[in-house]
């Protein structure tokens, strides 16, 4: 965590805070669903040929859906965060806040590029018929990136005290 993030507090209106929290819940739900696609998600060294053809077809069919959902859900969330941050910046312009917003926006861009690369890699690997590993890698990377992002940047969001 960089030191400027610790010092920054962005006070959110109740509606903004609710929106961000609901989107974080939606992201956690998405990650749970992603983790549970494979019926043997808690097992190591799973080969897809251990599943019947219907299940394999289902996993193959779900991969594009989860890939698009990932980009959509995270992109929409980042858009809302950016809109809120830019609004706060226009109200309370300071060098520290400007730097925080700039770094936060760069982090969003980096994550989205990482997700684009992840999706492309997953679709290239799908012919290997190791869908369990693809879903596992997708879950682990997305979880890691979003957790780091939340701990580094979203920690600055505070709910505006009710008066």
Helix (H) / strand (E) containing 157: strand 157-159
Most confident of 3-12, 95-104, 126-135, 150-159: 95-104
pLDDT on residue 1:
43
Q: Exposure of 159 by Cβ count < 10 A (0-12 exposed, 13-18 middle, 19+ buried)?
A: middle
**3-state secondary structure (DSSP) of residue 159:** strand
pTM, 2 dp: 0.83
What does pLDDT average to over the chain?
Answer: 85
pLDDT on residue 125:
75
């Amino acid at each position: 965590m960089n030191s400027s993030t610790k010092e920054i507090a962005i006070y959110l209106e109740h509606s903004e805070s609710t929106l961000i929290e609901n989107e974080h819940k939606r992201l956690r739900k998405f990650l749970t669903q992603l983790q549970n696609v494979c019926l043997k998600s808690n097992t190591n060294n799973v080969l897809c040929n251990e599943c019947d053809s219907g299940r394999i077809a289902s996993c193959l069919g779900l991969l594009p859906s989860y890939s698009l959902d990932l980009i959509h859900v995270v992109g929409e969330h980042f858009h809302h965060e950016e809109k809120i941050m830019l609004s706060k910046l226009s109200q309370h312009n300071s060098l520290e806040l400007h730097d925080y917003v700039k770094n936060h926006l760069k982090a969003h861009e980096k994550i989205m590029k990482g997700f684009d690369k992840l999706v492309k890699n997953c679709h290239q690997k799908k012919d290997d018929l190791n869908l369990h590993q693809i879903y596992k890698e997708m879950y682990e990377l997305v979880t890691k990136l979003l957790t780091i992002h939340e701990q580094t940047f979203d920690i600055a969001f505070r709910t505006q005290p009710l008066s």
